[in-house]
Amino acid sequence: MAKYIFITGGVVSSLGKGITAAAIGSLLTSRGLRIRIMKLDPYLNVDPGTMSPYQHGEVYVTDDGAETDLDLGHYERFTGAPTSKKSNVTAGRIYWDVLEKERRGDYLGGTVQMIPHISNEIKSRIRALDDKDVDIILCEIGGTVGDIEGSIFLEAIREIGLEEGRDNVAYIHLTYVPFIAAAGEVKTKPSQQSVAKLREIGIMADVLICRAEVPLSMEVRKKLSLFCNVPLSSVIEETDVKHSIYEVPLVLSDQGLDELLLVHFRIARPQADLTPWRKVINAIRNPKSSVTIGVVGKYQELQDAYKSIFEALDHGCIAHSAKLNLVKIASEDLERGDTSSIENVDGILVPGGFGGRGIEGKILAIQHAREKGIPFFGICMGLQCAVIEYARNVCCLQEANSTEIEQKAADPIVCLMEEQKDVTEMGATMRLGAWDCKLTPGTKVAKAYGKSEISERHRHRYEFNNAYRDVVTEHGLTIAGTTPDGGLVEIVEIAEHPWFVAVQFHPEFKSQPFNPHPLFAGFIGAAVNREKERSG
């Protein structure tokens, strides 16, 4: 039977519960424990798939095709533990499923109530991760204590503590301890009130993790311990790290958090081997070179919209002991004629997206990279823009476009899957989750992967139009990867270019700090070479 760790947040949102949960998971896996980790989101959307990146950040995709919260990306990057459709549940999904059961008569005409019906549904989703190969289930509760929509989730985890026994359940509360600059003091009252709210529900925090702008004195820690009813050793300080979020596991380990949890659960395990994390931090702190990468997108106002992309670029830089200088380029600025942002970069990346806004700016950036020999990496929409650019400017198909952008395009080089005669059975549904890909021998991507077949995650509706395969290959574009049956193009590249690779999938979802994705490592390697040539 698995043990349970529940991670709640208080005072304010955006404290970093996802990173903290992921870091805790990494410490437990480093001690040989088998974990599963999940996120419960109290909002009423059924899933994040249709939510705006401006409000929700990126949509993270699992192997089994779930569109999930971006925190699952942190979980996988930090722990290597797989996530799935079971790993992210929203209040909307819970209510939807309970009401469907009521309509079917599953409740035999009984009155459907928040307790026990909604709380039982939540508990069943948490327990669905339990099996014989799992030692600990970590569950992050979105939002903050006191949010009206989150109260039923807190009730559900309180009930699990009662049913499983307190030796099998640990409650971790992440709170904010503000520093009031005018007074020159750290204030504990918000944390006290947040923990008091938990106690009203019936949850006693076992560990208090304190996000703070300044280190906490022993006096402050003792005060938090006393008024929050938490042992002094269980008051954990989590100030902002200096170099990277990948320092967080080391910060928590230095304060003995993993040991606290093992003692609570009465589990004996050897000391954590944090050597991989120390190597990562050493590479970040002591770079041997620097590289400037321009990311051309349309959601640049929000850091989280391309969260996994930025993290994977960092991982590629770690592989080459290089410092990343990230330049966020709004594709619409390029459309207005301001190309100064792409003149002095060592590499250009065009990420995924939906819709026509900013497309011409992305195409302009790709043309610049192709003609100037600047390493280029296109992802999902980035591949579609790359083949449009190539068709227009190399194959002389001036009207080439995607039917997503121009439904009646004269040369629809990118189109819906159902518009391709040889794959009509797939319909126009989105291609989601893991798909196998066969690599073309001798290509850059085959050398980068070091294998002939791979599996990568997808999230898109539009594909390269097979009717144009011959014309683009005759003009020098290499089809570097396809689905195993050859039916769909997955990767294109230009052989004589330093690095011109575009993929239909999302490799950023499978990159880790100590195991960088080979395509990101290859892209950064090419960009480092260009930087060295330029600096000379």
The amino acid at 75 = Y
Annotated catalytic residue: which of 173, 497, 506, 517? Answer: 506
CA distances from 362 to 348, 386, 503, 523 (A): 10, 9, 15, 18
Q: Answer yes or no: 311 catalytic.
A: no
Residues 6+ apart with CB under 8 A from 148: none
CA distances from 169 to 89, 163, 386, 466 (A): 20, 10, 51, 54
Q: Is the dihedral of CA 51, 56, 61, 62 positive or negative?
A: negative
Residue 483: phi and psi, rounded to 5, are: -60, 155
How many CA atoms does the CB half-sphere of 119 hold within 13 Å?
Answer: 14
Annotated catalytic residue: which of 317, 380, 385, 395? Answer: 380
The amino acid at 269 = R
Q: Is the dihedral of CA 8, 149, 86, 49 positive or negative?
A: negative
Give the number of other CB atoms < 10 A from CB of residue 95. 17
Q: Answer yes or no: 415 catalytic.
A: no
Q: Answer yes or no: 210 catalytic.
A: no
Token pair for 321? 């002991």
Annotated catalytic residue: which of 56, 508, 517, 531? Answer: 508
Tell me how far apart the alpha carbons of residues 198 and 145 are, in angstroms, rounded to a whole number.
7
Residues 6+ apart with CB under 8 A from 332: 298, 357, 358, 361
The amino acid at 522 = G
Residues 6+ apart with CB under 8 A from 57: 70, 302, 304, 305, 307
Contact 231, 225 (CB under 8 A): yes
Contact 139, 172 (CB under 8 A): no
Catalytic residues: 380, 506, 508
